[in-house]
Structure 1
Amino acid sequence: MPKNPPESMQHHLRQRLNNRAKERWPQLSSVRVRFRAGFAYVTGKLPGDEEPLPLCRLRFTGVLHTWGFALYLASNGKYEDNFLPTGLPAGSPETPWTVRAASTSATRRPDQHSSTNLRGED
């Protein structure tokens, strides 16, 4: 079974993702990261919501600055491996957050284009 990153890397990743979320999606009250079997599962919380929104899953590659990326698909409740805008299957953990990954993973319909509407509501 793949191992989780050391505690210091986990702390660093949490900081990086929370900082990026504050820049890109200030409407999120927090971003939570839990580690399991070599993956970092990232969820976001909206103010007033009890239930966290699954956003993505990062695959630990053994290097702090390089993670694989899978987007959470609300349509089927599963994670789907994705390529980053660089065309590579792995990269900086912040990279997916620059391409509307979090907003797409919530409950968006294809006809919704706002990158700030995390619930997919009009």
Structure 2
Amino acid sequence: MSDTPSQQTRIAVTQRIIAHATRGWPHLGEPIVRHRGKFCYVGAVLAGDREPTPILRLRYQGSADRWAIAIYLPSDDRYTESELPTSFGPKTGTPEQGIDHTFILYTGPSSHR
């Protein structure tokens, strides 16, 4: 098992994130997705902002369907895997679960549920 996702995995995960976020939160437009090493960072332009806001970081767990989910804390300017509310589900999951567990805290419920 590799510590970092392959280029093919990064491309597929980026496409999945964009599709899921665009379907569920169309008012945000296309999310900003970037990869660095074992991490995938996702941001969006929130209402009233000109610049993208960081929302979540996914840490690769050896599979395109298994990532550790971390939420961005603007108050501390950092990502944390330990402060995601437990009522939102597991702290590891698919990229789509990461979107669902974090975007709702920043922008409200998804429009596709």
Query: TM-score, with normalisation over the residues of structure 1?
Result: 0.72
Identical pairs, percent = 30
**Contact map agreement 2:22 2:31 (CA 8 A) in 1:** no
Q: Which has the larger radius of gyration?
A: 1
Q: Which runs of 5+ in 1 are unaligned?
A: 106-113, 117-122
Greater relative contact order structure (CA < 8 Å, 6+ sep):
2
Tell me, what secondary structure is at the counterpart of 2:35? strand
Tell me, what secondary structure is at the counterpart of 2:75? coil
Equivalent residue number for residue 92 of structure 2: 90
The one-character-per-residue Cα deviations of 1:33-67 (angstroms, maximum 9, x if unpaired) are: 21113111111135885411101000011111111
More helix as a share of residues: 2
After superposing on structure 2, the runs of 4+ consecutive aligned residues of structure 1 that deviate more than 6 Å are none
Query: TM-score, with normalisation over the residues of structure 2?
Result: 0.77
Letter in 2 for 1:92: T
**Aligned-residue offset at 1:96:** 2.6
**Aligned-residue offset at 1:16:** 0.6
Equivalent residue number for residue 104 of structure 1: 105
**Contact map agreement 2:57 2:72 (CA 8 A) in 1:** yes
Aligned length: 105
**Aligned-residue offset at 1:94:** 0.5
Quick one: structure 1 residues 93 and 84, their matched pair in 2 at CA, closer, same or farther if it must change by over 3 Å?
A: farther
